[in-house]
Structure formats: structure tokens, C-alpha cells
Amino acid sequence: MIRPLTVVFVAAALLGTQAEPLCAQSSLDQREANQPILLVDSGSPTSNVFALRFVRDGADGLRLLAAGEEKVVWQWQVRQEAESRSVSLDPLPRLRWPINRGLRGMISSIASGRARVADPSLIAFGGVGLSPTLAQVQSLDGERAVSSLHSDELRFLQNSVYGLEFWPEPSRLLAVGCRAAEPKQALVVIWDIEQPARPRAVLETGFDAVRFLSVSPNGRSLVATDGVGLTVRRWTVRETDTFQTEAPVDLSVPSPVVGFTWRDDQRCLVATRNHGLGSLGERPLDATTVSLVIRNRTPRPLTMATRRNGQNLQTWEVASERSQSGTSPAVQQIGIRDGNNDWQTTDLDLRASPAWEFDVDLDASGRPRILAFAGVKLFAQANGVIVGVKDSLALDRSPPDFSKVQNRIDVGHVDGNRPLLARLQESINSGVFTAMAVSPDGQFIAAVGEQPRATSAGFGEQPIQEIRLWRVSDGSLVAVTPDRRAVPTSLSPIRSVGLARSQSNSTVPDVIRFSWSNDARLSLSLSDSLSRQVISHQPASLGKPHRDGESQSWKARLDGDRYWMVKQSAEAQEVGPFPLLDWLSPEVWEAHRFVRQNREYMAIGYRDGILIWDLARLKTLSKEPAQRQEQALVRSFFRHAGRLSCLSVSEESDYLITGATDGSICLWSLRGIEQPHDGIRELGLKLRRDGSSLRVENVVKGFPAFFAGLERDDELVKLRVPRPGSSESEWVERAEPMESALRALPPGLGAVFQVRGRLGISAADLIHEPLWTLYPMLDGQWVMSTPAQVFGASSDEAMRRFGWHLNLGGQGDQSVAFFPLDLFRDTHERIAVIAQTSWKSQQPVIRSSSSELPSRIEITAVQAADGSRVSLTDEFPRPVDLDVTLNVQRSGKETPKQLELWCNGRLIQQENLKTSATESPSVRWSVPKSALRIGDHNRLIAIVRSDFAGNANNRPGASAALVNRAMRTIFVAGTPRPKMHFLGVGVTDLDHAARFQKISAGIKPLRFAVNDVCLLGHALAERAGASGFDLGEFRYLVPRVPEGIEISAAQVAPPTHDEVLKALDRLREVAAPEDFLCVSLSCHGFAADNGAYLVVQDTAPDFRDAVTDRELFADRLWKLNCPALVLLDACHSGSALTGDSLRGLNGFGLGPEILVSCKPRQESFEAERLYRQGDRWFGMSVFTASLVEALSGHELSGSSLAERRMNSVVYTPSIDRNGDGFLSVEELGLHATLRVPVLQKLVNQDAATPETRQQPDLLPSLAFPRNRIRLRIPTSR
């Protein structure tokens, strides 16, 4: 930001961990070295992608990598099917490096190389590095640390990298193009990646930044440019071992460069923004020597012309390729004509340019067009294939839109003797392409950019990041991620944001209203019922879509060393002048003027944060130096990871609310800004004089001093306020000057302390944290967190989309750790108090007790046990016993106690560890081939449980906070023959019905439980064949079979406790890993202290012989090999999801998928004549009826009037959410969630209150790859 150049030994707020002393390096990056950062962990990029790269993976594998604002490297395996030629992008684990809030950690460049021929590929990535890191190099699988490249020896760099390039393989050399802190001081730094302590060479460029660089195929030439000016600097490398170069040569180009490619070892082709593709000379260009190469790719001769001011200078016929030398540099255009048609021209100012090359082919209407790569904004090349992105008018629309500019991709070849490439299918993007890549063999082209997608109902279209993959040979679009059939669930940039009151008598503005890129009016109520509600359409009472006050209507006007804020309105207004502060980025993005207690303020959003200025105070200081004008600052804020996009102030001016491009919304407190500035109060400190010393009397939770780790009775030995250019000797050591310096501390800066008894230094940055940060998602889900890691979410699924990133201070794969958010559900989920505390105290919620981080675990190797093959790509040609290596790393003071390995939802091995508090164990376990699915993906999950032997406030023993997991997916080739199995338990009659009536009058026989399981089994059997399953064992535990349903007597048994357990044990024996099992229980249910009781036929009122959730899940279902779906249709069935037997299973992604009919305090309903099969009507429960409806394609009516009954096919995108023709468990659960309330109303069962109305719930499992369980939907009836 607001760059408080401070550092820090900090008692880390992360889950109460104690930070180790850090070196005294002045940097906000070091201050937060042990602070967790909440990150979205979705399946594809949600923010801008700036780097796209293909990388070889093994002998014949190929990966696609992407990175940008989200600060991770995404990976996909480019999987090609030989027979069908189909191509897919299969996601792989993401690669991470140290990051921070704001821009720190954003990635702008990726390079790949190989140090030795036999080595696996390495990748390097860099961007806005966390000081002092410039770039990071690691193995492609992320399992081998290589090096981090630091700028310790290059202190005048800004830790910003734009260009990365490995020397031709094999080589250990990496060129890094950097940005300088001072004008014209940018460098190209040459590193030996295996000796990264010091760079091999440092090349001066004379640029402000190096954005593009390239190495010749023989490694003897290096070119670099800034992408802004008209100069390319070229070095000739004499010797690479010591890296000796000749004096560099500066070469002119006619317009800024967007990329390089090489025709051979000597001839470099340069792609320029306005003048196409041309040869870069060995010496400065002679403006009088210009040549032109035209290649005719059409089937007929063409007339070519050079033109100026609309007149032809020279014309000639082109039957095939022809070079015209000595072209005048006065040429403005190149023209082509087919017969007597009009001239088709392209602007081309050839002054000062070298040889330029153009292809001519036919457009969609059969007319000739010039492929000149002129106007190219992005450029990529490999193996002779060149691609460029340029703007074009939207002439492909009907009618043509001459005002709309869109992106188009042009493709060509460096070698003029090769045929022109086919046009790319869907190569025009209505949004903006931000990155492109060509595969090393020239087979594929990839591009990424914003593309509108339909979202959840009512949210309209929103832009998402879409990656497209084309096959070069025929131009076909072969893969898109995310899948276009899927409904987006990611974040989206916030366009406008504000606060409103839900009711006129509300004491606080308790409703957030906001919009994304379109005008959809959305809101989220922050009332006491915040838990588990979803984002909704904004009620009419809350007003129209808004820009809230004056937000988004102010622009900055620079005026020397100051700037004015100008209001964009009919009556122009100016506010200011504001000083350009030496510690603050001059980039101003948003502003809002407001009044509080009759005093005017302005909130201004800068690149990394927000400052609040007192306008009256600023006016009195307008003629003072900039440092004196800092006294007009009253508060500073810092949190958003993306660029600020909107802000507004509540009506009573108590709260500031902001939105950002990363999709986050933050709420900030303005309480106390009207008081005279006092840095001590703003820090949240109360100090006392103790003789000649200065001590901390108290620290306010949630204020800057609290997050800096200052504690009661800390003695401040000395203090300084660092500024750019200040020296380490500017310390204040006496109590009175220290207290005065703290009171005058301006918001946005920080105070660096030495605290007696502590190593290193401490820092308190005068930057306030938000009360909370909200992440609203495109499907209506959300996650909210506070700066002290208290969080809440609209659902368990929303929680699984986020995680905590922690910087470890190491290198390569040891530099960071990432913890899924749901691991901390027990200790950190406090959603019920976040909003209430925020409104009342205007302080962020702080946890009352601390806990430790879990140990980290990795599946570091998977290989064939017989040594026949070591898998580089996690693919095996046949089933084989596997050896799996697990590695555990301690995160802090915890001790790893237990390891588990699961395969496809089955526990393979478990071991209690006997390790000391300092050991990090590693084990190698076997997975039998009998546990593997053939012709499918197999999911391995490793679990580590730890104890914490810390202070007395921590409860020893394993807990949810001290459990961690790792996942890995492997593929086993083969032709599977999967079977579908079904177990239905329908309980209508109770042996002890009379005794149940005495203890609970509400217990009545269920009329239709038998119908539920029999009709469900019938619907599944109908879908089995079309879904690729053979029929396996179908078992029905029912007292009788309903008329009209054909079930053999051998399939039927009574629904008693022993029969249920016997049937489950039988299924465990017969079910193979590739099979699918569905278990459905329709019965009475009771909530227990730690789970649920499911009442079967012989259950007694004391619940002896009831089926417990432990018997069902922990003792049986999680021992199955195959994917399983459990359907619980019973009152209070949601209690099963909260039981102890599941907290250690599905809470960490294990066991079957579980779909329950209602929440723990709710009842399930049934109704007569709800489903029709042939001429017969059946009564059913509304929950199971909704599932049968989805499986059969028959819409249910539920009306008591026969003429209103409907039986039509109901498949719409609202059921088959991704449009793939299959129903996944997630889609089935969503349909039930939406459909059950509708069916309740149809059968007049809507008398229940909102708290007790039936609401199904889904607990998904990570034990199987997503959408593994899916059933083909019917297309007609």
C-alpha cells in the first residue's frame, strides 16, 4: 500500500502459533511471514491469467500451466485418446510459492527447462515476488525443491519479474527480466539454478522493466525489450560457463514489441504491436532498406499493391510466394484485390522497419485477407507455429456490430514453405484474451480470457476465466475449462457495493447489497440467521442497483508532486490537493466523500489499500511539505488481495464497505475518526511510564498492535518510524520521545520496536484490518472470515472451496503450506457471532482460545510394487500392487501420532507413530491391486493426526484442528465391467408399535416406506444399462412387495436389525472397486447425542436393535471398495451427519456420499398418490419421490385432483446442471433440495415453520473423483 516498511518478530495470529524470530529486513512481507492468508481453492482460475505455458511431461506427456492474479500455478494434463482423437484437460495439483496480501505473489511469467537430459522438466515462475524472492524454480510435480532466486545482491530491484527464459535444454541457466526501482535501471539477471546464492551474470538494459526476452536455439544470442519503447537490446554470448558476452547492440523497431521467435540460430523475428512480424537485424536498421515478403495461400492469383494516402505506389501480381525488395519506407498500407473487387487493405507504416512477411488467405465469405500480425497485443510461438491476438470489429454478428471490439486469434508459420494453418474454431472472444501459448511440438494452441457464462438462476451472465485448447492441424476447438456445461461457482469482480437496513427500525445497516459485472441486484442479510443462508436477489425495498453515493465518480488529476480528485458529473468539482507521499503508490482507483459529525472526509482507494483524509485539516496544510500534510490522515485500511473496484460509506458514516477485482467485499469501522489523531490510540495501545521505561499497559484486540504481537507489560527499549531512505541509526530511545513519536505516527506507516527480552525486532503498522471479509460466489454460496481466522460459510461445500495459505520461509516445495479450510471447522467456525459482534463492538471477532496447526502430509511417490514401472504421470497400464510413500512434515510444536492411507474410500493401512517431538516420519505402504478400479481414476487419501504438547490452554489429543490430509489420483488402464448394487430398507410396521406410542404420540406407522425403496430400486435398475453398469445384487428389506412392482422373493427379507447388517456385510464381499452401490433407508429416525437412531422393524423403544450411524457408516460402509451413495429418508436424519462416526470420516473427505431428507430438527413427510407408474398410483415420501422423479424423468404432481396430475419429461438445465447427459450425486442432491419444498406445498404439507420445513442436505465425499457416481438421464418417455 501503503507500504509500511516494517518487520517483525510477530506472535503469529495463525491459530495461535508462536513465530520464530525473523531477520531485521524492512518489509511488510516479513511482518506477515507467519500469518495465514485465505485463498479460494476452486477447480479453475477465477481471476486474470497473465502466463500460459505448455510443458513436456516425461517422454510423451504434455501439461498446460497457467498463473496470474490468484498467485498459484494451475496445472492440467493434456490427455489425448488415440482412437477417438478426443482431448481433455485433467486438473493436477497446483504449485504454490510465498505470497502476501495485495499484489505480492501475483505471477506474470512461467518458463520451463531441463538441467540434464535424464532429468524431469523444471519450471520457473515469477511476478511480484515476496521480498527478497524474485522467482522460484521447482520440479514439475512440485515434489522437489530446486531454488528460490533472491534479490539480496540487487537491492535496487522491485522484486517484480516480467520475463523468464531457460537456456536451450539441457542447461542450468535461467534469464530473469526484472523491473527496477529507479528509471532505466532494469536488469536481465542470469542464474545458475543449482547455485542460486549469487547470479552468474547481471546485464544492464537501460529499460525501466524487461517484459520480453528470448534466447536463440544455440544459446549464443539473447534479446530483451521493455515492450513499451522502440528499442531491442541484443547480446552475443561468447561463453556460457563463465557467461562472457560481447558489448550489447541496440536495435530499432517501428513499434513496441509483443514477442520474439527465431528462424534459426542467428535470425530473430520480432512481433510488434502495429507493424506485424519482421526480421531483427544484426545491426541498427537502415531506414532506406525495407523488404516485403508476400505468400499467397489462396487458390487463385491476386493483385498486390503498396499504398499511401489511398493511392497505389506499386502493384504486382502474386501467383505464389514472391519477395519484393527495396520497398519505399513511405508506404502506409498493403492492399490486395481479387479480380476487379475492391481493395482490401491493412495499415502498415514501414518506416524504420526491416523485412516484413505476410500471408494471404480467404476469409469466411471467400474474399482474400492479409495475415500480417499487425495490431497484435499478445504473441506466442513454438516449433515454427506463430499466433497473435488482435482487436477486430464484431462483424461476425447478425447484424454486424461496428461499435463492439473483440479479440481474434491469427495463426501462421515462420517457415514460408509450409502451408497456412487452418482457422481456429471459436477463435474470436467477446472478452479479452490475456495469455496464449503454443505446445513445444506445435500441435496445440491455448488461450485464456474472460467469457460470459450463465450463472445460477437470476444472477445473469457473469464473466469467468475460460481456457480454450485448439488442435493446430485442423483448427478444431478440442477442450475448454471450466466445462461450459457446468454452472460457474467461482468468484467474480465486484462492480458496486453498499449497505442497507432490512427494516426501517433496524439499528444498523444489516444488509449487504452488491453487483458483479452486470446489473443483477444481489443481497445478503447479516441478521442473527446469517448461518447457512445464500445470496438472494435484492428486494425492491432495498432500492435499485447502485453506485452508492459518489463512489466510482471521482478521478485523479496529477499536478506535479500532488493530485486533485475530480468529480465526473455535470458540475465538475475538485477536491484537494492531496500530496504524493513517498511511501504510497500514486495509483488512485476509487474515492468517496462523506460527512461525519459535520466534518467532511474523503476515502481514497489506492493500489493496495485505503486512506481516510480529513478535508478541512488537509486544506489548512495545503502549502506545507508532503510529510507535514500526513497530519490530515485519520485512518488507513489494508486487506484486499485484488485491485479495489468500488467503495461506499453507510448513511450514518460508521462503516466503510469496499469491493475488489478478486471478488471480495470488506467492511471497515470508521468509529473514532472525528477525534484528534493519536497514533497510540489508533494502534490499540495503552502505555504507562515505569520510571524511565515505557511499557505496554493494554492491547485492544483486533487493533494493529494486537496483530503485531505486542503484549501487556512489554517494555519498549527503542523505536523508529522507517521511511524510504531512512537509515538504521534513526532510533528514539527515551520514553518521552518514543511516546511523542507514536502519537504523531501517520496512518499507513509503522513503528519498529525493540522489546526487552525478545530477539530481533517487532513492528506495529498503523493499518487497520477489516471487521470481516466476504467472498460471494456465482452460485449464491459464500464464505466470510475475520483477520483472526474466525470464519463461516453458507454450506460445507462453500467451505471446501477455500483454504489457508501459510508462508514457511523455506524454498521450493518447503516454502509454503496449504490447509483446507474445513479442517478447522471445530475450532474456527463462529459464523453466528461474526455479524453481531461486528455491528455492536465494531471490532473483528477474535477466538478466545488458541490451537495449533496440523502436521503436513504428502503422498510423495506412487510406483509399481514389482518394479515393472515407475509412474511419472500416475498412470498404470494394468492393475498392479502399488507402493505408496508418505512423508510427514511438522508445522510447529505438534507431534504426529497416527497415519492412515485410504484408497477409493477404503482404509488400507493405519499405524500409530512412535516419534519424538522433533522427528518427521516417512513410511512406505502397499496398496493391493484388488482395491483399484480398472479403466478409471482411483483416489488415494493420506491422513495424519497430531497431538500438541504446548501450553495449558491447548487440549491434548487428536482433534479436528490437528488433522490434515493429502490426495492423489491415479489411473489404471483396462476395460471395466462395473455392476450396480442396491440395498433398500423400507420400514412400515414396528414390532413394538404400541410401546413407541406410549413414549411418543407422533410415532405412527409409515404408510409408504416400502413404496419408496421399491420404486427407487426400480428406477435405478432402469438407468443401469444406459449408465454403463451391469445389474449386480439388488436387495429389498421390506415386509411385503407392493402390487404392480416386480421383485422376486429371493431379493426380499424382513427389515430387521440383523438383516440390515447381514446385507451390508454381504455387499462388502461382492462389490468390486469399479462397482457402484446405493443404500436407501426409509424409516423413522431419532436424533441422538452423537448421531442418529434409525428405527427398523424390531427396534425397541430404548433403541436396542436400532441401526446406528456408527454401525452403518464407520463399521461397514467405509470398508467398501466401491463408490457408495447412502440415502436416509427419516425424520431428523440430518443428525447422522453430525455424529462422531462421521466427524472423522466425511468431515475429512472419506466414506460414502450421504444425502439426507432433512436437517437434524426437521421432519420428513409422505403423501398418497404421489407417483404414477403405468395405470397405478403410489404414495411416497416427498424426498424419495423427488429422487425417483429425477431418475425416471417423470414430473410429479402431488395434487389431490386427478386432472392436475402431470407425467411429462422434466429434464432441464436446472436438473442436469452441467448438461453432460448424466446425473451426478451433486446434481441429484441439488434437485432434491430445490424440489422437496415444492412437493410439500403441492401435497399441502406446508404448515411447518421455516425452521422445521423439510430441507434435504448432502455430505459429499472426496474419496472418489468428482462426478464419479453418475447415471445416464432419460431423454424421452
Quickly list DSSP for 766-778. Answer: S-BPPSEEEEE-T
Distance CA 130, CA 993 (A): 68
Separation of alpha carbons 251 and 400, rounded Å: 42
Q: Which of 118-132, 345-359, 660-674 has the highest mean pLDDT?
A: 660-674
CATH 2.40.50.140 fits 14-38+678-765, yes or no: no
pLDDT above 70 covers what percent of the chain?
Answer: 73
Backbone angles phi, psi at 357, to 5 degrees: -130, 135
Say which CATH topology domain 286-355+364-371 has. Immunoglobulin-like (2.60.40)
Q: In whole angstroms, give the CA distance from residue 912 to residue 900.
A: 9
613 within 8 A of 673, measured Cβ to Cβ:
no
- Report CA-CA distances (Å) from 1009 to 333, 1190, 1192: 80, 19, 19
Q: By the 8 A CB rule, do 194 and 147 touch?
A: yes
Name which of 1166, 1144, 1174, 1129 is nearest 1244 in CA terms.
Answer: 1166
Q: How would residue 983 be classed by pLDDT, with cut points 50, 70 and 90?
A: very high
State the DSSP H helix or E strand holding residue 29, giving kind and residue range, or none if neither: helix 28-31
Residue 954 has pLDDT above 50, yes or no: no
Confidence tier at 565 by pLDDT (50, 70, 90)? confident
The pLDDT tens digits of the residues spanning 380-416 come to 888 778 787 766 543 333 343 434 456 777 777 766 5
Q: Taking all residues of the chain, what is their mean pLDDT, rounded to a whole number?
A: 76
d(CA 161, CA 140): 20
Domain ranges of the chain: 14-38+678-765, 286-355+364-371, 492-672, 856-972, 979-1170+1248-1268
> Residue 83: pLDDT above 50?
yes
Residues facing residue 993 across a β-bridge: none
Specify the amino acid at residue 1126. V
Report the distance separating Cα 27 and Cα 151, nearest Å: 14
Q: What is the pLDDT of residue 690?
A: 81
Per residue in 224-277, pLDDT (tens digit) is 999 888 899 999 998 887 888 899 999 888 778 888 888 788 888 888 877 667
1058: phi then psi, degrees, rounded to nearest 5: -65, -35
Q: Is 1258 helix (H, G, I), strand (E, B) or coil?
A: strand
- Say if 286-355+364-371 and 856-972 have the same CATH topology: yes
CA distances 305 to 279, 349, 360, 1027, Å, are 21, 14, 13, 61
Q: Is the pLDDT of residue 1031 over 90?
A: yes
- 188 versus 430: which is more confidently predicted? 188
CA distances from 983 to 65, 986, 1068, 1078 (A): 44, 10, 12, 6
**What is the reported pLDDT for 547?**
38
Q: What is the pTM of this model?
A: 0.73
Q: Does residue 210 contact residue 156 with C-beta atoms inside 8 Å?
A: no
Tell me what the mean pLDDT of segment 481-502 comes to. Answer: 81
Helix, strand, coil shares, percent, the chain, to 5:
15, 40, 45
* CB contact set of 15 (below 8 Å; sequence gap of 6+): 36, 789, 824, 827, 828, 850, 851, 852, 853, 961
Residue 7 has pLDDT above 50, yes or no: no
pLDDT, position 546: 37
pLDDT top residue among 1004 and 933? 933
CATH 3.40.50.1820 given to domain 979-1170+1248-1268: no
862-878 mean pLDDT: 73
Angle between helical axes of 1225-1242 and 1182-1192 (0-180°, round to 10): 120
pLDDT at 325: 57
Q: Which of 151-155, 606-610, 1247-1251 has the highest mean pLDDT?
A: 606-610
pLDDT digits (tens, 9 = 90+) for 750-780: 777 778 877 656 667 788 888 889 998 888 8
pLDDT computed for residue 931 by the predictor: 87
**Residue 1127 clears pLDDT 90, i.e. is over it:** yes
> Given this model, what pLDDT does residue 916 score?
65
CA distance 483 to 1147: 27
Determine the pLDDT at residue 506.
65
Environment class of residue 1050 by beta-carbon count within 10 Å: exposed (0-12), middle (13-18) or buried (19+)?
Answer: exposed
**How many whole angstroms separate alpha carbon 66 and alpha carbon 52?**
5
Q: Residue 635 above 50 pLDDT?
A: yes
pLDDT at 391: 62
Please give the residue that has the higher pLDDT: either 38 or 830.
38
The whole-number pLDDT of residue 13 equals 30
pLDDT for 1146 equals 42
User: Average pLDDT, stretch 572-589?
Assistant: 78
Backbone CA torsion sign across 493, 498, 499, 504 = negative
Category of 619 on φ-ψ map: left (φ > 0), alpha (ψ -120 to 50) or beta: alpha
Q: What angle do CA 1133, 1137, 1142 make, to 5 degrees?
A: 135
- Tell me the HSE value of 563 on the side-chain side, using a 13 A CA sphere: 16
Contact status, residue 1092 vs residue 1137, Cβ threshold 8 Å: no
> Residue type at 1198?
G
Which residue's C-alpha cell is 519505399?
Answer: 328
Q: How does residue 1198 score in pLDDT terms, banded at 50, 70 and 90?
A: very low
Report pLDDT for 1210. 35
The superfamily in CATH containing domain 856-972 is Immunoglobulins (2.60.40.10)
pLDDT at position 468 over 90: yes
Read off the C-alpha cell for 911.
499405524
pLDDT at 210 over 80: yes
Specify the 3-state DSSP secondary structure of 1184.
Answer: helix
Higher pLDDT, 459 or 419: 459
How wide is the angle at C-alpha 654 spanned by C-alphas 769 and 802, nearest 5°? 35
What is the model's pLDDT at position 224? 94
Distance CA 884, CA 924 (A): 6
pLDDT at 849 over 80: no
pLDDT for the residue numbered 845: 65
The per-residue pLDDT for 393 is 43
In the chain, pLDDT over 90 holds for what percent of residues? 10
Sheet holding 802-807, edge to edge: 37-40, 802-807, 816-820
pLDDT tens, residue by residue, 49-67? 999 999 988 767 899 999 9
Residues present in the chain in total: 1277
Region 740-756 average pLDDT = 81
- The whole-number average pLDDT for the span 910-919 is 74
The winner for highest mean pLDDT among 658-672, 693-707, 1165-1179, 1231-1245 is 658-672
Which residue in the block uniquely carries the three cell numbers 530483451?
Answer: 224
Long-range contacts at 760-763 (CB < 8 A, ≥ 24 apart): 760/8, 760/9, 760/21, 760/22, 760/23, 760/24, 761/7, 761/8, 761/9, 761/24, 762/8, 762/9, 762/10, 762/708, 762/709, 762/710, 763/4, 763/6, 763/7, 763/8, 763/10, 763/31, 763/708
Pick the more confident residue, 388 or 1025.
1025
Residue 297 grid coordinates: 495461400
* Mean pLDDT, residues 573-584 taken together: 81
Query: Is 1108 in contact with 1092 (CB distance < 8 Å)?
Result: yes
* pLDDT for residue 747: 85
Q: What local confidence, expressed as pLDDT, does residue 142 receive?
A: 56
- Phi, psi dihedrals of residue 847, rounded to the nearest 5°: -65, 140
Distance CA 798, CA 775 (A): 10
Which helix or strand (DSSP H or E) is residue 1119 part of? none
* pLDDT score recorded for residue 54: 94
Task: Decide if pLDDT at 100 tops 50.
Answer: yes
Burial of 244 (0-12, 13-18, 19+ CB in 10 A): exposed
pLDDT band at 1243 (very low <50, low <70, confident <90, very high): low
Local confidence band at 29 (pLDDT 50, 70, 90 cut-offs): very low
Question: Which grid cell is 357?
Answer: 512477411
